[in-house]
Structure 1
Amino acid sequence: MKQTIKWGIIGCGNVTEVKSGPAYKMTEGFELVAVMRRNLELAKDYAERHNVARYYNNADQLIQDSEVDAVYIATPPDSHYYYAMKVAEAGKICCIEKPMARSYTECKEIQDAFNNLNQPLFVAYYRRSLPRFNKVKSLLEENTIGNVRHVSWYLSRTPSDLDESDIYNWRTDAKIAPAGYFDDLACHGLDLFTYLFGNVKTAKGIANNQQNLYSAKDCISGSWEHESGVLGTGLWSFGTYKREDKVRIIGSEGELSFSVFGEVPVKLITRNNTEVITIENPTHIQQYHVENMAKHLNTEFQHPSTGETATHTAWVMGKILGQI
């Protein structure tokens, strides 16, 4: 008989309202039993609205709760290392929101801690579990575009009202996210490319602050090579006149194009045909990611996003940013 795994969430903010939190309640074999937020009233409000039994404003109390078997860390990345090491010390299962931590060094130390204790560690790079991206993976494996030569990703957006205000935003604070929105957003695509094409063996890039609206970088370009021989290039610019998000995978016999963040169709172009493939995302975007954790913990299934894969993504980002 499968054992029910009881979860607690540290940091029950916006990301947990629809994207992730409900998935822990909906998944067979999982139960959400506790949440923590520094503001006790907000923690209570979340618990009451989502029918969660217990709430805390102290993370240690949640981690040490004997009814909690596993902890989902959904705080900003500057505290991921601190909480993850506490969860490891407590000997509990852990899932960390992306990016895994502020640097490759922190990620490596977290991963080593869980490895040494033989404790499961997952990271919320949920695109590895989404049907639309697994369709892309299957099209590549079926050799629909021949031998893959190159992948490119262009991501841009206009500066937001928040960027141009004095209101604090951790996503553009260099102490938390040195490359700003690149840290928060580009990690998703770079992690996805590793899932599609295998590990990266070399990477480099240039990072700049063109707008001087905040302390973090706002324009980054990068290039990399996968161990499979696929070359990659990326440009991430957060001060342009419009939003754009397009990935092109070029092969010897055709190409695939799609968006990392937008729910636009996947387009398959070959010499004699163009096919448009529409696959909608689930209401709770992390649903399949969370369900795959349950499968990993209860069967022989291997979850596609672990501490090991996320640490490699952190290494790629660190190389592009010149931090390694």
Structure 2
Amino acid sequence: MEETAHKTKIRWGILGCGNVTEVKSGPAYQKTEGFEVTAVMRRDEAKAADYAKRHGVAKYYSDAEALINDPEVDAVYIATPPDSHKYYALKVAEAGKPCCIEKPMAPSYEESLEIENAFEDKSLPLFVAYYRRSLPRFLKVKEWLDADKIGEVRHIRWFLSKPANAVDLSGEYNWRTDAKVAPAGYFDDLASHGLDLFAFLLGDFESASGTAVNQQGLYTAKDAITGHWFHENGITGSGTWNFGTQQREDSVEIYGSEGKISFSVFEDADVVLENEMGEKRLFIEHPEHVQQFHVENLKADLLKGQRHPSTGKTALHTSWVMDSILDNL
């Protein structure tokens, strides 16, 4: 394939056109100038055909390798459950094409490392859909931190909880709580977003550890996790994630020597700055397609040579942090 930096348009194929691609990501690839979704794949051919028809995509497949090796597909977006990420990503690397993988990169650090090495060995672009690194709401938090609005950062704390949902209580299959796919359940799916964001905001982690248990016995994966960590610059951090509480709560607090910043990773909430100047609250709306800025940054990287904030290398670090917190599994 010709170097992507010399292209004026990149034709994408999507593996796994499920819920995440309906609004969050798929339309962003279609609406970004210079990108085109050429083909989609789902194992259920009827569902793949339905998606292609509804989204105006020319081709659909029920076989992943057929899409990956389609000469009219320049790059591949993998939007399947995490346990299949490595298998498909290695196929994409073998085909010599750039790739973006849904988060988490893979269920373990070891699998993530295999993926990263495969693309690194071929000097192929690899990205992971940690799109919060590209969202204006969290870029405002980074702006405040970089401007020393709360002085020297001392500690970050995240508390995330939610009640068991109807699927959890019914025993219906859910890959997000299947220990074979996601050993720590919703932690794997949700905590990865926040921990990756914290590395972006505060710098890489130096060490991390934690404890994971199953309190409810509703499914095979863990449902209650605590963790603590140190960033390379000496900032300390702690997190609690519990998926069997009475109510949903999602709060992050960054404490500094001269103030505090508060925000939510998932909720539509204000970002709040408190310091000697008083309190400042801002509500910064997400785009309709929440991955829009992430995808536009893919274009800037692939077509203009501007480095994307979420690469295989940064996502590999997040995988290491996740595994370190879950070391007792």
Aligning the two structures, in what range does the TM-score lie when normalised by the shorter sequence? over 0.9
Partner of 1:268: 273
**What is the rounded CA distance, in whole Å, between the counterparts of 1:299 and 1:14 in structure 2?**
30
Alignment match of 1:138 (pick from 116, 140, 143): 143
Give yes or no for the alignment of 1:183 onto 2:188: yes
Q: How far did 1:271 drift?
A: 2.9
Q: How many residues align?
A: 324
For 1:85, the equivalent position in structure 2 comes to: 90
Q: Using the alignment, how far apart are the partners of 1:102 and 1:261 within structure 2? A: 21
Output the CA distance in 1 between the equivalents of 2:46 and 2:212.
40
**C-alpha distance in structure 1 between counterparts of 2:68 and 2:323, whole Å:** 30
Alpha-carbon separation, structure 2, partners of 1:3 and 1:62: 21
User: Is residue 9 of structure 2 the alignment partner of residue 4 of structure 1?
Assistant: yes
In 2: Cα distance, 1:140 partner to 1:301 partner = 23
What whole-Å deviation, never above 9, does each CA across 1:53-93 have from its counterpart, x for those lacking one? 00000001000100000000000001000000000000001
How far off is 1:263 after superposition? 1.1
Query: Which letter maps to 1:319?
Result: S
> 2 CA distance for matches of 1:242 and 1:122?
34
Matched, 1:33 2:38: yes
State which drifts further: 297-306 or 252-261.
Answer: 297-306
For 2:103, the equivalent position in structure 1 comes to: 98
Please give the alpha-carbon distance, in whole angstroms, between the structure 2 residues aligned to 1:130 and 1:66. Answer: 33
Q: Deviations over 1:248-277 (max 9, x none)?
A: 000000000000001100011113400101
The equivalent position to 2:302 in structure 1, one of 297, 302, 314, is 297
Residues in 2 aligned to 1:167 and 1:212: alpha-carbon distance in whole angstroms: 14
Q: Of 197, 200, 203, which residue of structure 2 is paired with 1:198?
A: 203
Q: Tell me whether 207-216 or 296-305 shows the greater mean CA deviation.
A: 296-305
User: Which residue, out of 206, 213, 216, partners 1:208?
Assistant: 213
Q: Quote the offset at 1:197 in angstroms.
A: 0.9
Q: Does 1:283 align with 2:300?
A: no
The letter for the 1-side match of 2:218 is: L
CA contact (8 A) 1:146 1:253 kept: yes
- Corresponding residue to 1:56 among 58, 61, 83: 61
Q: Note the residue ranges of structure 1 that are not aligned, 5 or more in a row.
A: none
Shift of 1:300: 3.0
2:327 maps to 1:322: yes
Contact residue 171 and residue 218 of structure 2 kept, 8 A: no
Matched, 1:119 2:139: no
Letter of the 1:313 partner, please give it. Answer: T
Give RMSD over aligned pairs.
1.0
Equivalent residue runs for 1:153-168 within 5 Å: 153-168=158-173
In the alignment, structure 2 segments of 5+ residues that lack a partner are: 1-5
Distance 2:328 2:25 in 1: 31
Q: In structure 1, what is the Cα distance between the partners aligned to 2:31 and 2:44?
A: 26
Q: Which residue of 2 aligns with 1:236?
A: 241
Q: Whole-Å Cα distance in 1 between the matches of residues 124 and 69 of structure 2?
A: 16
CA distance in structure 2 between the aligned counterparts of 1:122 and 1:29, rounded to whole angstroms: 18
Match of 2:3 in 1: none
Contact 1:100 / 1:107 at 8 angstroms: preserved in 2?
yes
Question: Which whole-Å deviations, capped at 9, do the CAs of 1:176-216 have from their partners, x for residues lacking one?
Answer: 00000000000000000000111101000010100010000
Task: Quote how far apart the aligned CAs of 1:323 are.
Answer: 6.0
Q: Decide whether the 8 Å contact of 1:2 with 1:29 is kept in 2.
A: no
**In 1, Cα distance between equivalents of 2:117 and 2:328:** 20
State, as a whole percentage, how many aligned pairs show the same letter: 62
